[in-house]
């Protein structure tokens, strides 16, 4: 069977990262998250990281040249494997560049999953989100609490609030999403094969809906 290629779309805080990780482990896919790649680069203080840190802190999109370079490298390193793209493409221009990259590589997208959630629910979710900087586990002060307050269940590191999860930045990221990323949904809807999933429920419920949609 050909390797499965999936794109997951959704506003910041829609749960797309969590669902992408679940789907990757269920289907044996590589989870290619541009946000994670950029956060790694920032942590390692690479040249890309130093450039990206400011954009990320302000909730703006990073420059396409950086993102395309990361994506090209990630796709090349995933040759022959299935993958799920999380956080890319985020603009129409990125979707068009991805189309070109895939034509060059002789690969195609099997599913585009869009997770739809009400923006006010997103503000609540993201304000309460905490992440483990070491192993990337994601928690929520409301719904997914750690066993020991403030410590990651998986690796024991101190969990933190992402700098871009402050309320003003969350609202800015949602505006950026509406303006720049919502048209990407139309790009894939027009092509056919777009699946929209209700992202207001719990993690298990949403995951089950995604699996059903991919049958």
Which residues are designated catalytic? 16, 90, 129, 162, 173
State how far the Cα of 8 lies from the Cα of 115, in Å rounded to an integer: 8
Q: Please, which of residues 20-49 interact with ligand AMP by CB under 6 A?
A: 34-35, 38
Q: Classify strands 129-131 and 138-140 as parallel, antiparallel or unpaired.
A: antiparallel
Q: Does 90 bind ligand AMP (CB under 6 A)?
A: yes
Chosen residue from 5, 22, 129, 173 binding ligand AMP by CB under 6 A:
173
At closest approach, how far in Å is the CB of 34 from ligand AMP?
3
DSSP H or E segment with residue 161: none
Cis before 89? omega within 30:
yes
At closest approach, how far in Å is the CB of 1 from ligand AMP?
28
Distances (CA, A) of 184 to 92, 94, 97: 5, 9, 12
The sign of the torsion formed by the CA atoms of 136, 160, 90, 116 equals positive
Q: How many residues bind ligand AMP (CB under 6 A)?
A: 17
Q: Does 15 bind ligand AMP (CB under 6 A)?
A: no
Binding site for ligand AMP (CB under 6 A): 12, 34-35, 38, 55-56, 59-62, 67, 87-88, 90, 94, 164, 173
């Amino acid at each position: 069977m050909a390797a499965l290629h999936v794109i997951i779309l959704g506003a910041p805080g829609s749960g797309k990262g969590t669902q992408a990780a679940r789907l990757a482990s269920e289907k044996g896919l590589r989870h290619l998250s541009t946000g994670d790649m950029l956060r790694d680069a920032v942590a390692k203080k690479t040249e890309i990281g130093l450039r990206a840190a400011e954009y990320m802190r302000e909730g703006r999109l990073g420059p396409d040249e950086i993102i395309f370079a990361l994506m090209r490298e990630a796709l090349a390193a995933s040759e022959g494997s299935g993958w799920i793209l999380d956080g890319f493409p985020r603009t129409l221009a990125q979707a068009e560049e991805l189309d070109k990259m895939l034509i060059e590589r002789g690969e195609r997208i099997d599913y585009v999953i869009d997770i739809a959630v009400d923006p006010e629910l997103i503000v609540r979710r993201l304000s309460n989100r905490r992440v483990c900087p070491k192993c990337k586990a994601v928690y929520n002060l409301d719904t997914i609490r750690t066993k020991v307050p403030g410590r990651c269940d998986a690796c024991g590191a101190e969990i933190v609030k992402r700098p871009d999860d402050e309320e003003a930045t969350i609202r800015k990221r949602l505006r950026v999403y509406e303006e720049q990323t919502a048209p990407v949904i139309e790009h894939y809807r027009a092509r056919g094969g777009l699946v929209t999933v209700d992202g207001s429920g719990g993690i298990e419920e949403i995951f089950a809906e995604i699996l059903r949609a991919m049958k």
